[in-house]
Structure 1
Amino acid sequence: MKPTGTLSTILSLATGSLLVLLAYAQVRAQDAPPPAPQDGVHESAAPHAAGPLLDLRRIQPLRGDAAAGKAKSALCSNCHGEQGISIVPIFPNLAGQRAEYMYWQLVESKLGNLPPSTMTPLVADLSDADMRDLAAYYASLPPNPPLPADRPGDETATPPAADVLARGQALYLEGSPEAGIPPCQGCHGRDALGFRNALQPNRSGHVPYATYPILRGQQRDYLQIRLGQYQGDEFNDSTPDLVMSGVGHRLDPDSIAALSSYLSSLYGN
């Protein structure tokens, strides 16, 4: 008999959680990836085409100077907005994002591990202190603020259909057991504000789930691009990347569009 209602939801969550755990176990089974440097990347580190897998399971809470980061953020605001809300749909919102996530994204970009982008030349001259301070600053901003009245928008864009939003919500909360897609909330939180208590150190003093980003109200175009990159194996240079690549392989274009539309629709809510 086909399970329905509450039982179906429980089975979906259980299946999704198991898939996440299996993916995480596969990461752990790899040949001793180098531990993430606790003091960040040396300032003289040169970008390169490929590097060793960054093991972000053993990172510590990030320390940075938010005030110093604000003073250094003028160039960043050209794409990400003065308050960390992107003015270009293909670039992510940074306001309230986990500092640990942003810092290690900057590190990967500086090392040359990420696909080339607008960020590639911009991070080349950033010091480790610069990256820590910028991450601390954007993390200090209010997450998912109300939409500014003067924020430019695409008046010709068609709002997502109700059925697309419903499918995105179902995928995010329940996953799709038949397609092998785990529920996104397992790592990103039911409210899409990140893994619960991600910044509370475990018994070893590490915060591995702090590198899973907040997705609530994120830019739809950016999410579609990023999920497509995971689907195409363009991001596989860190332990979280390996987990997300496993998920990305199971997503089809319609699923990516639905998830992106649903999460972006939560902006300001």
Structure 2
Amino acid sequence: MKTMLLLAPLLLAGTPAADAGPAADPPGEVATATPPVRYDLRRAQAVPGDAQAGKAKAEVCGACHGENGIAPAPLFPNLAGQPAAYLYWSLQAYRSGRLPESPMTALAATLQEQDIRDLASYYASLPVPPPAPETETATAGTDAALAGRGRALYLDGDPSRGIPPCQGCHGDDARGNPLAGYRDRSGRLPYAAYPALRGQQPDYLRTRLQQFHGQAIDASSNSRIMEGVGQRLDADSIEALSTWLSSLNE
């Protein structure tokens, strides 16, 4: 297990610091250079934000992500309970133009630093509720064989194709990296910005993995890891992973 949990630093060990862009230190550091920076999330720090203030600022977000952070449509991601660091740096990446163009691009461009901190803190504070009846129905109709392949790929990877197990960064239960709270000697949180994938919306998972496969995302040290993994995932693997992860609602 320790070997898998240390996968991210090992994969990035040979990456020159300059190539990874400026450190994600302190929180909120956003360079104005062109092209936009790639954030080194191995040096991320805690995200200080006001969840209550974030709730007041999240009204417009509910149209796509749901009133309680659970998206009403499978194309949009659930945000409830995601790590604050992941949400924070995702919004920074949208604001800096490092993520593919989407409705989030224009919305994030209007956010101030404190807005990003507060929104990240708010959605991270939300509990993940039990699945709605329609989600349970979809789960019951999941292709068992396809989901089984996704489970095996997530937990064990595929050494023959150079695909590492996803649990190395996202946890064996897909609830996020179990070392998310670990601080190094400098007080940084190198594992804090990995998202939870359990019960995530299927179309969103599929789209994101396809973007990594097509090398369309170059936002951070974490996305560099996923770019390497994504290039090795074929369409069947992406479908299997998306099917299994989105079926995990308990």
TM-score (norm 1): 0.85
Match of 2:171 among 186, 189, 208: 189
Larger Rg: 1
What residue number does 2:47 align with?
Answer: 62
Question: In the alignment, does 2:248 pair up with 1:260?
Answer: no
Q: Distance in 2 between matches of 1:19 and 1:37?
A: 22
Taking the aligned partners of 2:90 and 2:61, their CA distance within structure 1 comes to 14
Alignment match, 2:203: 221
1:170, 1:52 → 2: CA distance? Answer: 35
Within the candidate set 22, 34, 38, 1:34 is matched to 22
* Residue equivalent to 1:7: none
Q: Distance in 1 between matches of 2:104 and 2:211?
A: 16
Count matched residues: 250
Hey, what does 2:215 align to over in structure 1?
233
- Partner residue in 2 for 1:250: 232
Q: Deviations over 1:147-197 (max 9, x none)?
A: 234x6x7x8999331110110000010001111110000000000011113
What is the CA distance between 1:103 and its match in structure 2? 0.5
Offset, 1:49: 7.2
Give 5+ residue unaligned stretches, structure 1. 1-9
Q: Percent of pairs identical after alignment? A: 51
Counterpart of 1:201 in structure 2 is 183
CA RMSD across the alignment = 2.6
Matched, 1:140 2:140: no
Take 1:125 and 1:18, find their aligned partners in 2: how far apart are those partners? 36
The aligned amino acid for 2:245 is: L
Q: Residues 23 and 246 of structure 1 are in contact (CA less than 8 Å); yes or no, is this contact kept in structure 2?
A: no
Amino acid at match of 1:50: P
- Residue in structure 1 matching 2:141, options 159, 166, 170: 159
C-alpha distance in 1 between matches for 2:43 and 2:199: 28
Give 3-state SS (helix, strand or coil) of 1:211's partner. coil
Q: Deviation of residue 26 (structure 1)?
A: 3.3
Deviations 1:78-103, CA, capped at 9 Å, x for gaps: 00000100012111000000000000
Describe the superposition over 1:205-255 as per-residue Cα deviations: whole angstroms up to 9, x where unpaired: 111111110001000100000000000001122100111100001100000
Determine if contact 1:198/1:209 at 8 Å carries over to the other structure.
yes
Which region of structure 1 is more displaced relative to structure 2, 90-99 or 53-62? 53-62
Supply the AA of the counterpart residue of 2:26: Q
* Distance across 1 between alignment mates of 2:94 and 2:14: 24
Unpaired segments ≥5 residues, structure 2: none
Question: What letter corresponds to residue 181 of structure 1 in structure 2?
Answer: I
Inter-CA distance 157–204: structure 2 relative to 1 (3 Å threshold): closer
